[in-house]
Amino acid sequence: MSGLPAPQRIEVTATAASGDAPSAVEVEKSVGAESLPGYTIVGEIHRGGQGVVYKAVQKSTRRNVAIKVMHEGPLARPSDRVRFEREIQVLGQLNHPNIVGIHDSGTAAGCFYYVMDFIPGQPLDRFVQTTALPVRRTLELFGKICDAINAAHLRGVIHRDIKPGNIRIDEAGEPHVLDFGLAKLTEDNESVDSKTPHMTMTGQFIGSVPWASPEQAEGRQDDVDIRTDVYSLGVVLYQMLTVGTFPYDVGGNMRKVIDNILNVAPTPPSRHRPEIDDEVETIVLKCLSKEPPRRYQSAGELANDIRRYLAGQPIEAKRDSGWYMLRKGIRRYWAAASIAAVMLVAGVGFGVAMTFLYQQAAAKLQARERAEAVAAREAAEERERLVARRLYGTRVALAGGKLDDGDVALVRDLLIGCPQELRGWEWQRLDWLADRSRMTLRGHDHFVSAVAWRSGGKQIASAGFDGTVRLWTQNEAGEFAASAVLKDHDRPVMCAEFSPDGKTLASGGQDRVIRLWDAATGEPLRTLEGHWSHVAGLAWRSDGGQLASVGHDGTLRIWHIATGDEPTTLYGHEGAVDGVAYSPDGATIATAGEDGTVRLWDAAHGAETAVLRGHEGRAWSVAFDPEGRRLASGGSDGTIRIWGSAARPVSAENGAIPVVILTHGSAVHGVAWSPDGRRVASGGEDRALRVWDAGSGACAVTLRGHAAPIDSVAFSPGGASIASGGRDNTLRVWDAAAAADVLALAGHHSAVHALAVSPDGRFVASGGRDFTVKLWDAATGQELRTGRGHEWTVTGVAFTPDGASLVSVGDDGRAAVWNAATLESLRTWKADEEHVFALAVSPQGRVVASGGFDDRVHLWDVHSGADILALSGHSDDVLALAFSPDGKQLASCSADRTVRVWAVASGRCLATLAGHEGRVTCVTFMPDGRSLASGADDTTIRIWRLGRSDQTLVLRGHRQAVRSLACLPDGERLVSGGDDGAVKLWDTVTGEELQELRESREAALAVAVGAAPPAAAAQAPASRSSSTPHANPAIAPRIVAGGSSGVIRVWETAEPLPDVAARRAHVAAAHQRVDAEFAAAVFADDVIGRLRERKDLESALRATAIEIVQARGNNPQQLNDAAWTLVKTAGRPAAEYRRALRMAETACDMSPRVGSYLNTLGIARFRCGRYAEALETLAASRARNGEHPADVAFAAMSLQKLGRSEEAARELVHLRELMGQPWFARDELWQQFLREAEKLAMDAAAQ
């Protein structure tokens, strides 16, 4: 039972239902210090009815953990074991920072246990008693507890035992909900409940009495739902506010306590603590309503109402009406009410006389009741829709997690269970990623252990544990269909291989024989006997004259098929041998075995020539590359090791150390080389097929579809397809050129701060810290154009609605309009005296809005750059802008923590939205124009319903500041990017996180959403989880994000069209070639020259690479970096300094106002002996950078060289003062400059 999800924060306790705790004599003796493998028991923490919790130390990590051990005494009941197991499974499903987690479980020394992190702290009741919390702090703390319980509810888990003792406060003041031993699972959560019997029955009490709800107290288990937990939360909140007081008397005998729970109204908490105001009291009393429908309907609703109160907004809770209280009183005091009824009858006569007077009032009352009934029905339907939507969100979120785990079978089940009308972008993407195979071939009744292609690629053989070998033949439509079933093996078949000429098929298995078949007819030809255990692997020599086999008898056997001679038997492995391969020239055989070694054998002489060690565990498979110079092996340690290289082929002399190690992540059962030797495919225990770039070792693509581990992979003879066999009893065929599920656009040399997608979805525009604007092909990822003109970070880009122009703004305070096709500058203007951070273009394309350092929003004419209007109101930097869909309103957000909505025509501020607790960094309107979303440094996203201040939705999930937002066209999905590196997709109706798109840990500084080109949408493939096509005009197929590394990533929802996929692979290869050439030659012209001289490049690849270089041009930052590498060190050859000077001059010509470039140029001029120019340049650098040791040191040395010794001496004194500052003193390079300057001064003085 190990391998459960890693914990978040963890605490331990144990609480049993009333009457369940064994007596002291019934509880087993304490667990010994070393009883549990991998852990050392330190001491006992808590002893409860279900088990004992110990503090322990995990030996492997030396961290403190807590271990709960189940009671095993003589009176322990079978239900205890079931409850214990269910608690483990429940905790394994929950992943929330305020819920106890679990990361190991098992059985040892006859004890059942599970392991959790140990967190020091104290129970909630003790914390409240020892910490004088004001009401506001109490509510903030309680809100986090509600969030945790709500997270459990969303996973279908009802706690049923919420009380202060099951909530622990850690040293940082964070709460942790513990002990799910009595948890109940809703009907929606079948993953656990279906595996455990029902453990309660009607009339049985479950929980802790003082905190129990009325339905618990009466034993009505069928009525227990998430609202039961809300009641218990209400008791806890009451105690937190009143320092331990209960809302009614819970002392005395059990009958009296239960009667109080059922019938006695809670004492208003303000009587115990007068500073509790009416709204807080209303929230508490709503939780404690005796009738579940009158409580908050979820812990989430309760948390939201608390946050409304904390934000100063109206709460939703209302006090019970007088009529409702009257009806409650009648039910409780029936006798008195009966007497009153008699008296009422006596007055009927008078009532009849008054009837006419009340007829009109009655009619009005009936009309109102009918209206209320309609409203109630609509509200109920809305609640049902909301519950369905939340359940959908839970399903897709769980599916995303299971896809990461490789459990595609569960992913498909979860996706199929999602209602058709709720399926959105995230569903489409998961449906695509869950199975990217081109076709699935079914027929085997057991594991498919081996696959092999026949020469020509028109037929595949598969071997199965059902004892059959099956042949699959390609028809005219390109589909493979079963053509023969070979059944002579009487036990599982483990391997199969076609002879090189495709005429013969060999197979072997657990019946210890090798069978040869006529590949055309399927008729048996020969049987080879000799192995005395399973035959695990086969390989033909390239001429078909020999067949090598390996088996679990530890031998390699060479069968002389052409001559019929007796087989050669070779020994060497210590244990079973699983993999075997012939080198292309037939001279060498490689084997892989249980002993973890890969061995090389001389095929002609039958001698072992080398033992390759490195796998930590079993080596499962081996494969030679097409030239026989490299050997790939896969093992149970999760690695693929490539032995040898083009320069040093694998051999006894130089094969002992792998050149490349690829990390698959789980045991690798099969490896194969592509026919061109550029790629390696691997399949293994994690059910994923991975394709690797053999040169760089990078994983090109991960393909999922198998629902069980993969045992065999093989490239087709032409390299266009890959076949795989898995333990899900299927054979699958994949496109070998399948694109990665995330397209990476790499061309910026530093962080990307701005993104936009063209209106037709064909192009992506980006702006970055390298001062450039770039244009990309959104389908292929090719870098098309680079626009230069900004002298600092480009902070915003936006297309005009017709897609003809592109607008950009930057930290240099300038705005620019570009021709979107050519990136030629059309016009520029000064938009701010300092920095511009925000940009938006109106939907009509006539107005550009900008905001920045001057705290104002400016409206400009896009055609002339004329200033139309300035909007004042913010008190700090304006960081983002967004027009409403109709262009009549403009939203701005600011470092002053507010969002403002402006009327574009008049410039009047229509609304100021406050609530964020940090700088508001991004804002976007929803497509309906009635709502907008904002993100902030406080890690939250808020969705504001304009005109409805009581309907703000707060989205929580980012761990660091939110940097960017974009809305999908349907308005029901929102994309966010943050400093935590996460790109998240949200449901704007429920506020739930639906999917996280994370490819790296770099900050996601910009996100954008774009429509797919019409051709791609029209040809989108059908869904695998239903008959619904992927194409949906309301679902944007591409989400784009840019990060701090300069890489832009594109996420899609469907397989690219074949021509697009081919072009994408071609462009990726060209980009890789360009990056390699730029590493060797910094100037673009030099790179183009090198590309033209390369004879090993295909003409098409060369042409594309040159296009990319021309689009990119010289990059000033790259030139500066290369120049700096040379000039920072004294004593280099003069030619290197001249080369550095050329690079530095070019960088400064392109970006003349960048201080770091000026610094490099000044030093380069000094190194080249141009001291006067150096002094002038360093002065300009100091004006930009301030006083810096690099500038001062070389200014001093330049003055010294010019014979201005007194000035040089003053600069040297200033340099020493600067180096006295700690942040400069710690840097070795600045110390080196100081020493160089001092030596030059000393040498000059000595002369």
What tens digit of pLDDT does each residue of 1139-1161 get? 999 999 999 988 887 888 999 99
Integer Cα distance of 173 and 178 in angstroms = 16
Q: Among residues of the chain, what percentage have pLDDT more than 70?
A: 89
Residue 197 banded pLDDT, cuts 50, 70, 90 = very low
Give residue 155's pLDDT.
Answer: 85
* Digit-coded pLDDT (tens) for 724-781: 999 999 999 999 988 889 999 998 988 999 999 999 999 999 999 989 999 999 999 9
Give residue 83's pLDDT.
Answer: 77
Mean pLDDT to the nearest integer, 1226-1234: 92
Mean pLDDT to the nearest integer, 603-618: 92
Mean pLDDT to the nearest integer, 38-50: 83
Residue 1033 pLDDT > 50: no
3-class DSSP state of 805: strand
Contacts of 599 (CB under 8 A, 6+ apart): 572, 573, 590, 591, 593, 608, 610, 611, 612
Residue 9 banded pLDDT, cuts 50, 70, 90 = very low
Domain 743-1013+1036-1052 homologous superfamily, CATH: YVTN repeat-like/Quinoprotein amine dehydrogenase (2.130.10.10)
* Digit-coded pLDDT (tens) for 373-416: 888 888 888 888 888 999 999 999 999 989 988 899 999 999 99
Contacts of 806 (CB under 8 A, 6+ apart): 756, 765, 773, 775, 787, 797, 798, 799, 800, 817, 818, 819, 820, 823
Q: Among residues of the chain, what percentage have pLDDT more than 90?
A: 63
Residue 367 pLDDT > 70: yes
CA dihedral 603, 607, 611, 617 (to 10 degrees): 80
Each domain of the chain, given as residue ranges in start order, spans 39-117, 124-161+207-318, 435-735, 743-1013+1036-1052, 1064-1113, 1114-1246
Mean pLDDT to the nearest integer, 1115-1126: 90
DSSP string over 381-437: HHHHHHHHHHHHHHHHHHHHHHHHHT-HHHHHHHHHTS-GGG--HHHHHHHHHT---
3-class DSSP state of 905: coil
Tokens of 279: 């709204």
> Are 320 and 146 spatial neighbours (Cβ–Cβ below 8 Å)?
no
Give residue 824's pLDDT.
Answer: 94
Integer Cα distance of 1011 and 566 in angstroms = 67
Contacts of 1053 (CB under 8 A, 6+ apart): 425, 428, 429, 432, 1030, 1035, 1037
CATH of domain 1114-1246: 1.25.40.10
* Digit-coded pLDDT (tens) for 142-196: 999 999 999 999 888 999 999 998 998 988 899 999 888 888 887 655 444 444 4
Tokens of 646: 């083009």
Give residue 321's pLDDT.
Answer: 47
1026: how many CB neighbours lie within 10 A of its CB? 14
| Higher per-residue confidence, 6 vs 566 | 566
Give Dmax (Cα) for the chain: 130
Residue 357 banded pLDDT, cuts 50, 70, 90 = low
Cα 321 from chain centroid (whole Å): 48
Integer Cα distance of 106 and 119 in angstroms = 21
Residue 427 pLDDT > 60: yes
Residue 4 pLDDT > 70: no
Averaging pLDDT over each range in 25-34, 85-94, 283-292, which range is the top one?
283-292
* Digit-coded pLDDT (tens) for 704-718: 999 999 999 999 999
DSSP label at 211? G
Residue 634 pLDDT > 90: yes
Give residue 1018's pLDDT.
Answer: 40
Residue 340 pLDDT > 90: no
| Higher per-residue confidence, 390 vs 45 | 390
Give residue 149's pLDDT.
Answer: 94
Would the CATH topology of 435-735 be identical to that of 743-1013+1036-1052? yes
| Higher per-residue confidence, 13 vs 593 | 593
Give residue 66's pLDDT.
Answer: 87
Q: Is the whole model's pTM more than 0.75, yes or no?
A: no
Residue 7 banded pLDDT, cuts 50, 70, 90 = very low
Mean pLDDT to the nearest integer, 988-1016: 82
Task: Match 């009380």 to its residue by tokens.
Answer: 163
CA dihedral 1115, 1116, 1118, 1123 (to 10 degrees): 140
Phi then psi dihedrals of residue 372, to 5 deg: -65, -35
CATH topology of domain 435-735: Methylamine Dehydrogenase; Chain H (2.130.10)
CATH topology of domain 39-117: Phosphorylase Kinase; domain 1 (3.30.200)
Give residue 355's pLDDT.
Answer: 59
Residue 448 pLDDT > 50: yes
- Nearest 5°: the CA angle 434, 103, 148 is 80
Identity of the residue numbered 633: S
Residue 593 banded pLDDT, cuts 50, 70, 90 = very high
Integer Cα distance of 1140 and 1126 in angstroms = 6
| Higher per-residue confidence, 355 vs 635 | 635
Residue 451 pLDDT > 90: yes
Averaging pLDDT over each range in 499-513, 600-614, 1230-1244, which range is the top one?
499-513
Residue 1024 banded pLDDT, cuts 50, 70, 90 = low
Mean pLDDT to the nearest integer, 1192-1214: 94
* Digit-coded pLDDT (tens) for 815-831: 999 999 999 999 999 99
Give residue 1184's pLDDT.
Answer: 85
In 3D, which of 621, 531, 608 has the Cα closest to residue 567? 531
Integer Cα distance of 569 and 564 in angstroms = 15
Residue 2 banded pLDDT, cuts 50, 70, 90 = very low
> Which of 545-554, 795-804, 1223-1232 shows the lowest mean pLDDT across its residues?
1223-1232
* Digit-coded pLDDT (tens) for 206-248: 778 999 999 998 888 888 999 999 999 999 999 999 989 999 9
State the chain's mean pLDDT as an integer: 87
Phi then psi dihedrals of residue 126, to 5 deg: -70, -40
Give residue 1166's pLDDT.
Answer: 96
In 3D, which of 1113, 1199, 1124 has the Cα closest to residue 1154? 1124
Residue 74 pLDDT > 50: no
CATH of domain 124-161+207-318: 1.10.510.10
3-class DSSP state of 78: helix
Give residue 107's pLDDT.
Answer: 86
